Amino acid sequence: MELLKKVSRLEVKRCFVLSQRFTSKKMRKDEIKKHIIKPEKVTFLKNLEISKKAILKMKETEIDQFIAVEYKKRLKAYDGVEWFIGYVYLSEVGIWKGAGGIPKAWSTGSLLDSAQEVAKELRKTNSKYSRIRAIKAVPEIIKFKAVIKKEKYLLPIMLPGGTIPVCRKGMRPMNFDVDDGCMRSLAFAVSGDGQIKAYVGIFAKDASQITSKKPF
């Protein structure tokens, strides 16, 4: 892990809501019927800007309400840590159990382990998992990798391992869990990244030790 700078909780919450505009079927249906993302790069960028403008106008109370409706424990977790932009290594973070419809066995270990399994299936011409979300989404995300990585509100969000127990129940404990952005993290890893730039949550007691050594 390498932390670059401290950020506000609001920035992380905005990131979560923006990413949901691109990944949540319910939100696309209920809130942005006129701005459904299409594969073309121009449309992607246009809709990204539309979504950003809408989210930046939202009050934190509105954003909190949205996050709480999705999952109350997530809001509590976001408010319970200090936030930084930084890098985590593939070997120290794990994705949600069965994220993107992958077999649970693929998510038992680290993001590196999960990415290797996904990459293996992508190389097959007749994979029995060809219809699951992860196998469909990862190649599409890789196409927009450069654009996605430049947008701070599309960074994956990492919480300290075990903060949300259901996230990786029965899986190997990791230093960090990908709370949001599992498919993006998988895509980055599959395409060769050895570390993931993300919003990284650190418990206050641990953050104070880190910032005392390297102030921001």
Q: What is the pLDDT of residues 68-121, one digit of tens each?
A: 988 899 999 999 999 999 999 999 999 999 999 999 999 999 999 999 999 999
Does 28 or 50 have the greater pLDDT score?
50
pLDDT for 205 beyond 50: yes
- d(Cα 66, Cα 47) in Å, to the nearest integer? 20
Q: Which amino acid is at 207?
A: A
CA distance 46 to 94: 32
> 22 vs 56, which has greater pLDDT?
56
Tell me the pLDDT tens digit for each residue of 146-185: 989 999 999 999 999 999 999 999 999 999 999 999 999 9
Question: Which tens digit of pLDDT belongs to each residue from 179-198?
Answer: 999 999 999 999 999 999 99
Span 27-39, mean pLDDT? 43
d(CA 64, CA 67): 5
Among 171, 197, 49, 181, CA closest to 104: 171
Q: Give the pLDDT band (50/70/90) at residue 40.
A: low
The residue type found at 58 is M
CB 37 within 8 A of CB 22: yes
| Average per-residue pLDDT for the chain | 88
Tokens standing for 35? 């701005």
In DSSP notation, 122-191 reads HT-SS-TTTTSHHHHHHHHHHHTHHHHHH-GGGS-EEEETTSSGGGGTTSPP-SEEEEE-HHHHHHHHHT
Contact 12, 200 (CB under 8 A): no
**Band (31; pLDDT cuts 50, 70, 90):** very low
Residue 29 host element (H or E): helix 25-31
Residue 23: the pLDDT is: 61
Please tell me the predicted confidence (pLDDT) of residue 59: 95
**pLDDT at residue 102, rounded to an integer:** 97
Closest to 50 (Cα-Cα) out of 33, 69, 73: 33
